[in-house]
Structure 1
Amino acid sequence: MKIAIIGYSGAGKSTLAEKLSNYYSIPKLHMDTLQFQPGWKDSDRDWMKSEMKSFLTNHSNWVIDGNYSWCYYEERMQEADQIIFLNFLPWTCLLRAFKRYLKYRGQVRESMAAGCKEQFNWDFIRWILWDGRTKTAKERYQRIQQTYPEKVIVLRSQKEMDQFLENLANNKKNQRA
């Protein structure tokens, strides 16, 4: 099983990736762990592409969370058996990101690069509400849905995400019976 999780900052991509990685017992890659170096410095793009290519080559099953349209995006979408698009409202993402900040303040999350302590500042707020929701980003998500309608699942709320995970758990129970 290969799963690509895309969507807006604060929607819960990394949390969902963790759950699906555990459910299917497959390796996961949080793209933020490649994008950033300590102190929130951007990684070298060639290095990041090399790491992504290595991950894709060395794993027959995976879950990858993150967008980064310049980093094997089309290849990830093509290879994925399932593409999950977290299309949460901007204010929902902002609230979720703030709650995450309160939980991890002063710490580095497992889904983040080493040396990148959880932060919540005006640049990030602006990214969540506006800059990360450009017309180009919206068109990219729309194109993925049109290109791969048979494998795209759009989740628009925590309730829908919970139902999705509950259905997985129920399917597993039914397979055992």
Structure 2
Amino acid sequence: MKIAILGFSGSGKSTLAQQLGAEHQLPVVHLDSLHFLPGWVERDPQEERALLGEFMDTHQDWVIEGSYSYLHFERRMDEADQIYILMANRWIRLFRVLRRTAQHLGTSRPEMADGCPEKFTFEFIRWVLWDGCRPARRQQYLDIARQYLHKTTIRKN
């Protein structure tokens, strides 16, 4: 079984990935953990693609969580048996982000690279509330749902 999880920041992608991975005994990849090196340094995109490509080549089953359109996006969508798109409203997502920040402040969340401590920044809050959920991104998710209608579930909570 292959499961792809997409959605806005704070929508519950990591939580759902962990739940489905445990339930079905599948390896889980959080794309944020591929994207960032310790200290919130962004990894080279070619290296990210190579790491994810190698994972997909060597695993028959998986849960991959995150959008990152440059990371084998079409391949993930094509190969996935199930696609979840999480589109909770901005206020629910803000609440979840604030809750996880309070839980993990100063430490790295399990789904992040070591050395990436949880922090509270205005830029991230702006991303959660506005920049990361612009109409074009919402439309992209709706287009994916239409293209892969038979295997896509949209969750709005």
- The amino acid that maps onto 1:86 is L
Determine whether 1:86 maps to 2:96: no
Secondary structure in 2 aligned to 1:64?
strand
Q: Which residue of 2 aligns with 1:24?
A: 24
Q: CA RMSD in A?
A: 0.8
Secondary structure in 1 aligned to 2:71?
coil
Q: 1:26-175 alignment to 2 at 5 Å?
A: 26-157=26-157
- The amino acid that maps onto 1:81 is D
Secondary structure in 2 aligned to 1:92?
helix
CA distance in 2, matches of 1:60, 1:41: 30
Secondary structure in 1 aligned to 2:149?
coil
Determine whether 1:15 maps to 2:37: no
- The amino acid that maps onto 2:110 is E
- The amino acid that maps onto 1:2 is K
Q: After superposition, what is the alpha-carbon deviation per residue over 1:45-68, rounded to whole angstroms, capped at 9, x for unaligned?
A: 000000010011010000010000
Greater Rg over alpha carbons, structure: 1
Extract structure 1 runs of 4+ deviating beyond 2 A.
none
Q: After superposition, what is the alpha-carbon deviation per residue over 1:128-157, rounded to whole angstroms, capped at 9, x for unaligned?
A: 011111233122101101100111011111
Matched length: 157
- The amino acid that maps onto 1:92 is I
CA distance in 2, matches of 1:119, 1:83: 29
- The amino acid that maps onto 2:74 is E
- The amino acid that maps onto 1:156 is K
CA distance in 2, matches of 1:47, 1:60: 21
Secondary structure in 2 aligned to 1:115?
coil
CA distance in 2, matches of 1:4, 1:120: 28
Q: TM-score, normalised by structure 2?
A: 0.97
Q: Which moved more, 1:57-66 or 1:37-46?
A: 37-46
Q: Which moved more, 1:133-142 or 1:18-27?
A: 133-142
CA distance in 2, matches of 1:119, 1:77: 31
Gaps of 5+ in 1: 158-177
Q: TM-score, normalised by structure 1?
A: 0.87
CA distance in 2, matches of 1:156, 1:138: 12
* Aligned-pair identity (%): 41
Return the offset for 1:18: 0.6
